[in-house]
Structure 1
Amino acid sequence: MSAPDERPALAPPIALYDHVQRLLRESSDAVPPPRGYPLPRKPGPRTDPFSWEAAEHAVQKALDPLPEDPDTLRRRFEELGVQHHHRHLVRTAVAALELPAEQLAAVRSLGRGLARRGTTVPTVAAGIALLRRLGEPEDVPCLSALGLFRDLAGPAVHALDALDRRAAALVHLVARGRRDELRPLIRALWKDDRQAVHTELVALPAALRFVGGSAARRIAEASRLSELLDHRPSDAVLLARTGELLVRMGSSHDDPGELLGHRDALRLYDTVITRARLLPPTLDNAALLLSLALDLSSGAGALLDWPPGRRAVLLDLLGQLLAMPPWAEASAGGETADQRQRAGWIRRTGRRPFQHPAPAAAFRVEVVAGDPADRNPVEARVLIDGRPVVPALFGRGPAHSPDHLLDDGRLRAGAEAREVQLAEASCSEGCCGALHVTIRRDGDHVVWENWRRTPSGCWGPTAEPPAHRFDAAVYDAEVTRAETDSSWSWRARTVARLIKAGLVGDPGLLDRWDAKRGWISSGFDDPDTAVVTFWYAPGLASGRPEGAGEPLQFRWDVPDDGTPAEAQAAAVLHRLASKDPKSHARVCGGSRARAEELGFPLE
């Protein structure tokens, strides 16, 4: 028998489920901390005796065949070296298991035992993964508690999504809602205090720019937003916050799948738009309603399962409201530069979403410049049969800009087939992929075929969309219309496009200075500035750069001076013809050593 002072060291480890229950009981206000709880035992260092592929094989071996009791699986994981950081492999392997119908009850019981009595992360992760497939409503409390561990939050939320959307949303917000602005709302949601939930929702800032698409959906689900609106039919502030959450869910800069995955999205759109007359005609509310219209017309909102004709009715309601004099006056000007930019955007964009009511043409290109307050990129949205292609097939980033798809002629169809990238993940293609399609001309038709999404480790493959054939004359006319339409553009952006067109037409303007054209557009932080970038190295124009051949990147900012865009662009091109741009541009890229070598020290 062990000595008394040794017994604590030999005591069996506590189940993770029991540990989190104790933490909740001991909490002064029973609200978990931001990001949830750490595990009771800090995982040791990675000591894999094998490669990642070998670890995957070890996980599969431990699960085949599934044991009858949790302790057996725990021992297998330990003997085979499956560790804390292999929990994602465990989840993937469990998801791929073939489960005979006659064994489902036994496997469900195993999953419950692993989740409730498991003392290690791999065993609990296996239990959560089994309950994701076979769980029932009685498993919601256990999964909700385990999701409060920051290392298990993701799997628990995925399991809860199939059982209880509100519980899943609440766990997600507790574990992922790190912004201080959201903590009062999360506290009210955790305590299920309906009055406090309403109070904290309407207390949120008018523009929810700190809320991403995922958080917006989870807030709507956790707060049972549709019920709140039903109980407060005259609450204009709650209505505006709901509209903002819809805009965040559908943002192409985030994942528009958040909007498509929200089961109450149709109801929320309908409620906000049919009650929109309750909103005061302010600049913020005009921008909100216009953003909703753009989503319904050519964004993720167009992909929802609308009853026949309903989307067109809602767009008409928005169009009629925004055309009324009080709303037009709201965008007449502004006191600050940001307000003037936003008002100008509303005036330029105000009628665009209402010019193409459903059903739309077979092929359409809609250039969309979103609310400048959100600093979202300008998109060249392609719609086929009224459905926006990028959020329907990709959803990891916005459609490419008109500079890329239209100004460079990539959508034009020639006899020779060519592959065109329509969108790229916000991180990069190498990280989360991109969407490609092959465009070719076939007699009197243009064909879009061989759709391709580059592989990514964070999302699985889907079936390739079918080929689409368009009347060539109609297709060419639409591409030409989109290429020549600049009604969406503001002056600095037009200046940048004209400068780029001038340099494409006369590359010698930069060649004489051993420079090559780089990115040219309006500024991200200051949309009223045209930005011209170029690369420089001695001998670059001849194709034989001196030294190591490492060019420097320069940036030239051209503030909007209020004169016509054509005059501003002409002045820039004239200056390039007569004066070395390196004398008035600044180095913005390249190595410090190379900059000093060429006499352009970095600041």
Structure 2
Amino acid sequence: MADLLKPLLVDPDAVRAAAETELRLAVMEPAVRDNQLLFAVRDVVLEDEKRARALGRCLTRTGSSPAAVCVGLALLARLGEPADVPYLKALGGLRDFVSPAVYALDTIDRQAGALVWLGHHAEGPELRGLVAALAAEDGIAVRRGLAAVPRDPGVVRPETARRIVEAVRPAGLLDEEGMELPLLRAELVALTGWLLFRATSLRDDKAEILHCSEAVRTYEAFVASAGALEPTLDHYGLLLSAAFELHSGPSRLHDWGPGRREALLAELESVLNRPAWQGVLEPGAEPGEGADRGERRRFDWARRNARQPFRGAVGAVEAVGAVEAVRAVEPLGRVDPMGPLLRIETVVRDPVDSDMVEVRMLVDGRPLVPEVFGRGPAHSPEWLLDSGRLRATEKPREVQLAEAYCTEGCCGALHVTIRRDGAQVVWSDWRCPPPPASPLYVREIPELRFDGAAYDAEITRAENDYAWTWPAREAARLIAAGLRDRPDLLTRWNMQLGWAGTDFRDPDRTALCLRYEGAEGSPQDLMWHIPEDGTPPGTRAADALRRLATVDPRTYGA
């Protein structure tokens, strides 16, 4: 592709160059796919941007083959100007050109790109009214369409949420004075918080919030308007989730400028410390017996984690003073004779997002995994902490820190080699695929050298921090610890522990995956579920271990 395009990109006659491009693409074997064209043009060196732009415009406006039009769109993704937007939007109305048109629009006019994307991907009737209102630029209808957006993860996926934020720009609506029907201000604040929450979900192929051009402005508007929300458990969850993101999530990686992110965290803490909001989590406010299990689970999550995003931030500042504040804005890998600061935090996401649990590794205050990987969350505390994988010894050990949701064999994983080198602990020899395209991702991961004593103290602290856990998960942890101490409990049955945690669909059920060799040597997984019965986690774990000592798990039944 580079050889094909290079002479055409400098041709002073754009019409002639476009015709030649069509001819050359037509005879290529095999035919080139759209994404290949986009990547190829993205990497071609442009010697004359003015002539390359003219060729791109000629191909997009007069091209007679899909491949030629895609080359034009790829050129305008690099060189396009506002005058090109109407043409790109028109091409985006054709199904075959949606992706390359949005790719180009995202670099010129993110709002237009979001609208084109929503026009094709927001297929449900719940969102069609909003798309039509945006296309018609009807402000009242946009509010009406927003009011109809369902808070349903099945309808509003992470990218859908991000595109709605970019297309609607709710921060601007929140700045308007005297908002009236059909969307009350409090409703807009809550919906804005929920859209941010969905865009931060890591149950997708990338962290959509990192690609959101409106993220900083939207967070600021949401936090500034938090006082308009009624103190309820649902709204408490939205504010606490925003605090977790600003403290240690991917959202922290945006360009906040001095003190802006810290000010938002302080404001969230101030709101949640008000008596009315404190009352949401008082014992008397606990959902009753007739309440939905999900509501009770969410109440318990909020009570367990209410202080974590604020306590962690204060602790880091107290530990290292002003140095942390300066380091937090530095890019990963800057040279510092003191070495980087490491903070390990286990974070549980709001249970409305299926109780995702991850170990967040903050290097100089910046979350490492989303900055260098971006294809899924970090692994669980059971994998990284309970196993001792993050401990450093003189013998180098490669550790998988994160894996893509589709598995490592598909989109890769993040690996690092951990070793002790004298008084230091070194993280080096990184292995990972290139992260998704975003200016916020680090492309080359530097070697990290930590002070050994501080590193050991932080790992020990994190390994012994169980404040985040809940009874079913604690029972699983205790069972796994018992099996590490007594591997014979499984080896006597020719089994081994695959993993221990909680059921994906029911976090109140302890789940153990036991692996063994089946007929003809084929590997088999046996799932053992232990329901919540009101007894202490330690009691349930001891009962499970006793049962394993005497009864073959293959006889347990369903």
TM-score (norm 2): 0.87
Distance 1:456 1:240, change over 3 A: closer
Matched-pair contact (CA < 8 Å) for 1:433–1:456: no
Q: State the Cα distance separating 1:268 from its structure 2 match.
A: 1.6
Q: State the Cα distance separating 1:255 from its structure 2 match.
A: 5.8
Partner of 1:469: 449
What does the per-residue CA deviation read over 1:268-327, in whole Å, with 9 as the maximum and x for residues that have no partner? 212211221110111111111111011011101222222323322222222232233432
Q: 2:63 aligned with 1:132, yes or no?
A: no
Q: Between 182-191 and 138-147, report the one with greater CA deviation.
A: 182-191
Partner amino acid for 1:65? P
- Which of the residues 561, 576, 583 maps onto 2:548? 576
Matched-pair contact (CA < 8 Å) for 2:127–2:148: no
Q: 2:281 aligned with 1:333, yes or no?
A: no
Q: State the Cα distance separating 1:187 from its structure 2 match.
A: 1.6
Matched-pair contact (CA < 8 Å) for 1:62–1:80: no
Q: 2:418 aligned with 1:439, yes or no?
A: yes
Q: State the Cα distance separating 1:207 from its structure 2 match.
A: 5.4
Unaligned runs of 5+ in 2: 180-184, 321-340
- Which of the residues 95, 105, 108 maps onto 2:42? 95
Partner of 1:147: 92
Q: 2:446 aligned with 1:490, yes or no?
A: no
Q: State the Cα distance separating 1:152 from its structure 2 match.
A: 1.4
Distance 1:196 1:264, change over 3 A: same
Distance 1:419 1:65, change over 3 A: same
- Secondary structure at the counterpart of residue 561 of structure 1: coil
Partner amino acid for 1:333? E
Distance 1:468 1:86, change over 3 A: closer
Partner of 1:379: 358
Q: Between 352-361 and 364-373, report the one with greater CA deviation.
A: 352-361
Partner amino acid for 2:498? G
CA distance in 2, matches of 1:485, 1:462: 30
Q: State the Cα distance separating 1:64 from its structure 2 match.
A: 4.4
Partner amino acid for 1:580? D
Distance 1:326 1:535, change over 3 A: same
CA distance in 2, matches of 1:208, 1:496: 28
Partner of 2:383: 404
Unaligned runs of 5+ in 1: 1-58, 539-546, 587-603
Partner of 2:7: 65
Q: State the Cα distance separating 1:531 from its structure 2 match.
A: 0.8
Q: State the Cα distance separating 1:409 from its structure 2 match.
A: 0.5
- Which of the residues 201, 208, 220 maps onto 1:251? 201
Q: 2:478 aligned with 1:478, yes or no?
A: no
Partner of 1:542: none
Partner of 2:191: 241
CA distance in 1, matches of 2:90, 2:43: 25
Matched-pair contact (CA < 8 Å) for 1:208–1:245: no
- Which of the residues 509, 517, 521 maps onto 1:529? 509
Matched-pair contact (CA < 8 Å) for 1:432–1:456: no
Distance 1:584 1:366, change over 3 A: same
- Secondary structure at the counterpart of residue 549 of structure 2: helix
RMSD: 2.3
Matched-pair contact (CA < 8 Å) for 1:555–1:585: no
Q: State the Cα distance separating 1:99 from its structure 2 match.
A: 2.4
Partner of 2:57: 112
CA distance in 1, matches of 2:516, 2:347: 33
Q: 2:343 aligned with 1:390, yes or no?
A: no
* Identical-pair percentage: 46
- Secondary structure at the counterpart of residue 173 of structure 1: helix
CA distance in 2, matches of 1:225, 1:508: 58
Q: 2:237 aligned with 1:265, yes or no?
A: no
Matched-pair contact (CA < 8 Å) for 2:186–2:228: yes
Q: Between 496-505 and 529-538, report the one with greater CA deviation.
A: 529-538
CA distance in 1, matches of 2:200, 2:387: 28
CA distance in 1, matches of 2:447, 2:385: 22
Q: State the Cα distance separating 1:344 from its structure 2 match.
A: 0.5
Matched-pair contact (CA < 8 Å) for 1:530–1:557: yes
- Which of the residues 140, 148, 168 maps onto 1:195? 140
Partner of 2:331: none
Matched-pair contact (CA < 8 Å) for 2:59–2:68: yes
What does the per-residue CA deviation read over 1:240-287, in whole Å, with 9 as the maximum and x for residues that have no partner? 111111122222333665323333322221221122111011111111
